[in-house]
Amino acid sequence: MSIRGRIINYLDLKRNKRIIRDSRSGSLKRYAIGSVLVLLGIVIVVNLLVGMLASDFQLDWTATQVTSISPETEKVLSELPVDVRIYGLFEKPDNVQNSIYQLFIPMLEKYEDASEGKLTVQYVDPDTSPSLIAGLDPTGLTAFSKDTFVIKAGERISVIDPYNCLAYDAFEYTANNRRVVVGNRIEMVFTGEISYLTSGDLQKVYFMKGHQEFGNSYVASILKYEGYDCLDLYLAETPEIPEDCDLIVLNLPRQDISEDEAAILGNYLKTGGKMIVACDFVSVNEPMDRLNELVGTMGLSLTTDLILEYSPEYLFSPDDNKNARGIVSTEYADLFGIYYAVVGRSRHVRINDIANGSLSIRPIITSSALATINPYGVIDEKQTSQGIYNYAVRSTSSDPGYSGDMIVLGTGYLSGDEYLNGMSAAEENIRFFSNLILSLTGREIDTPIPPKAIPSYAFTSLPPVAQQTLWSVILIAIIPFLFVSAGIIVYYRRRHQ
């Protein structure tokens, strides 16, 4: 071939490659532009769909599922013996997320669905519908307040304050009078009230009052779900035990009982009465002579010795040996399925050295063998010795003339609202206390509905400045530079193929 022919062939080959490359480049450009347009279209369509469905469609993705209902609630709702109506005494807000009812309304919608028509929810403003409110209780004995809930089952009625269905940070509430929500007790309260209102014969638990006792609303909510009627007992005003009493609870009194009360309670125990006494080192750190005499009839003593735990295995913090994990005895661990309980600021419950073969005394919760006790909380190495000390003990008498059954708790962490309201372990402790009551009253041990923690998305601490700067450089400069560089390299390689 001549030189001229070779030159022509070379030029034709270059021209054909350029045409192919230009065609490929054009295809890539059209493909890229088309992909971007399709992606934008998908984003727009998804946003439109979410916007249209957001008010009617909600998924509970939180780890604790704060608006979901448990199998226990579903079982209660599926077996309702009567129709149940729940009234919200307020106008249903258009924007639920900006009201206190943002957890209530979605959960109650699930109650309706699970009941298969046996339960309905209605929202009514008492200011515009006074006749409906008056018709809820024809007797006129029930006081209704705006912004509350009313549950009606047959002729039985219960009023629920929404603020009592939430758990608050104890420190913020006490120190700063601020309601910082840390937990959701809505299901516990509503299912408990529904079970209570639709139950037949209920066992009666009386909580003694008149001695500046700690609150007991947490455990009362659980007990209602379990089928108990929780009532107050003022022996100073009505000096006799009600005939329908199945159990008496003296929950963290700050004052000693009177001589008359001690005599009444003593006679109650003689005739087979059942009682729980909770008295920790914080409610009062002085001796309670008359209460101790009563406890002494069951072979126990509520000492003024503060238990201090020194085993690292059971401490939450090495700087705080007043709060610890208490060891549940094998008998109760097997029965409850709970092996440790959070305890603290506890009196030592001493088992007296008595020769009474009719008493069966067994520890329920103990310390480790490295714990010590300090009389009146005074740290004096000469007065303390290491050993196993009791946070909770049960004493049962088989004597026909004195057949009582008593559980004595030296800690308030199992039953006191003031503690449970701010405890991360409140669920397990409430469950433990309710199981104690079930075991005392001969009921089957079941799993109560636990409160739900409100998930927090706040950072606990910011990283150091140097670390923040490093991540800023990586996110703002290095990562974009790597993407741009990779794009340029791919582009030129494909262009010169």
User: When comparing pLDDT for 418 and 414, which is higher?
Assistant: 414
Least confident of 219-233, 355-369, 403-417: 219-233
Position 71 pLDDT exceeds 60: yes
Domain shared by 430 and 473, yes or no: no
pLDDT in tens, 114-173: 998 999 999 998 888 888 877 887 766 677 888 899 999 887 888 888 888 887 766 666
State residue 442's pLDDT score: 84
Q: What is the domain extent for residue 146?
A: 66-200
CA geometry: angle 62, 219, 196, nearest 5 deg: 90
Gap between the Cα atoms of 368 and 311, Å rounded: 7
**How many other C-beta atoms lie within 10 A of the C-beta of residue 77?**
21
Residue 23 has pLDDT above 60, yes or no: no
155 and 271: one domain? no
User: b/e string for 401-438 if b means 16 or more Cβ within 10 A?
Assistant: ebebbbbbbbbbbbbbbebbbbbebbbbbbbbbbbbbb
State what percent of residues in the chain have pLDDT above 70: 70
Please tell me the predicted confidence (pLDDT) of residue 12: 61
Lookup: tokens for 346? 């506890």
Question: pLDDT of 270-300, one tens digit each?
Answer: 999 999 999 998 766 667 899 999 999 999 9
406 with 330, same domain: the answer is: yes
pTM: 0.62
pLDDT tens, position by position, 386-400: 899 999 999 999 888
Q: Which of 39, 57, 75 is the last residue of a domain?
A: 57
Q: Which of 63-67, 138-142, 254-258, 289-293 has the lowest mean pLDDT?
A: 63-67
Residue linked to tokens 């006790």 = 373
For residue 456, is pLDDT > 90? no
Counting residues of the chain whose pLDDT is more than 90, the rounded percentage is: 33
Same domain, 350 and 437: yes
Dist. CA 279–CA 410, nearest whole Å: 5
Structure tokens at 15: 């021209």
Mean of all residue pLDDT scores within the chain = 79
Residues whose CB is less than 8 angstroms from the CB of residue 214 and which lie 6 or more positions away in sequence, other chains included:
251, 252, 283, 412, 415, 416, 417, 418, 419
Same domain (yes/no): 303, 394: yes
169 and 257 inside one domain: no
What is the per-residue DSSP string for 375-416? Answer: ETT---GGG---B--EEEEEEEE-BTTB--EEEEES-STTT-
Q: Give the pLDDT mean for 204-208.
A: 94
Residue that finishes a domain, picked among 184, 200, 216:
200
- Stronger pLDDT, 130 or 201, i.e. the higher one: 130
Do 75 and 171 have their domain in common?
Answer: yes
Q: What is the pLDDT of residue 33?
A: 58
42 and 73 part of one domain = no
- Using left for φ > 0, alpha for ψ between -120 and 50, and beta otherwise, residue 257 falls in beta
Contact 120, 86 (CB under 8 A): yes
Judgement on whether residues 343 and 262 belong to the same structural domain of the protein: yes
CATH number of domain containing 131: 3.40.30
Query: Which of 200, 230, 257 is the last residue in one of the domains?
Result: 200
Q: What is the rounded distance in angstroms from the CA atom of residue 183 to the CA atom of residue 163? A: 11
Q: Looking at residue 438, which CATH number applies to its domain?
A: 3.40.50.880
| Mean of pLDDT values over 394-416 | 90
Judge if 207 and 331 occupy the same domain: yes
User: How many folded domains does the chain comprise?
Assistant: 4
